[in-house]
């Protein structure tokens, strides 16, 4: 059976370790966001909208999907859900009739300000023990920017 695996022990597998850490981190984030009636995808899409809110014309659904690396349909459904909650609005794009611009509402800003404090406080605690955090982040950024294998 050992001939099936590259590693002698499961803990030697980077993929398994990443899976375990990601699962632990996501479960904790899920608990933090529950009191705001947000799931993690909704929070990330809301954060992207807030991040882009400085743009006068607003951010498009396509820009959000690209920034957070989400499928277009998932992004659309998430935006629809956030709009139903009154956290953002979709408006006609000024120059592209096929596109909508996404704008955060006052209710959305208020909720996001509370939620992001909890999430960032947790992130600082969770990742605080990393010895080379900047290098770790740079490596994650490099990996996340790679083209998918086909």
Determine the average pLDDT of the residues in 46-50: 93
Secondary-structure class of domain 34-119 per CATH: mainly alpha
Burial 46-77 (b: 16+ CB within 10 A, else e): bbbbbebbeeeebbbbebbbebbebeeeebbe
> Cβ atoms within 10 A of the Cβ of 7, count?
12
pLDDT digits (tens, 9 = 90+) for 69-126: 899 999 999 999 999 999 999 887 777 777 788 999 999 999 999 999 999 999 999 9
The domain segmentation of the chain, as residue ranges, is 34-119
- Confidence class of residue 149 from pLDDT cuts 50, 70 and 90? low
The pTM of the full predicted model, rounded to 2 decimals, is 0.85
């Amino acid at each position: 059976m050992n001939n099936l695996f590259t590693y002698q022990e499961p803990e030697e597998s980077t993929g398994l370790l990443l899976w375990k850490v990601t699962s632990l981190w996501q479960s904790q984030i899920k608990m933090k966001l529950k009191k705001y009636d947000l799931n993690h995808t909704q929070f990330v899409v809301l954060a992207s909208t807030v991040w882009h809110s400085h743009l006068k014309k607003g951010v498009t659904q396509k820009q959000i999907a690209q920034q957070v690396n989400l499928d277009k349909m998932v992004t659309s459904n998430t935006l629809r859900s956030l709009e139903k909650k009154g956290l953002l609005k979709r408006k006609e794009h000024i120059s592209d009739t096929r596109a909508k611009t996404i704008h955060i509402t006052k209710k959305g800003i208020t909720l996001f300000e509370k939620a992001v404090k909890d999430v960032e406080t947790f992130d600082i605690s969770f990742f605080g023990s990393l010895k080379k955090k900047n290098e770790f982040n740079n490596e994650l950024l490099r990996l996340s920017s790679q083209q998918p294998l086909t």
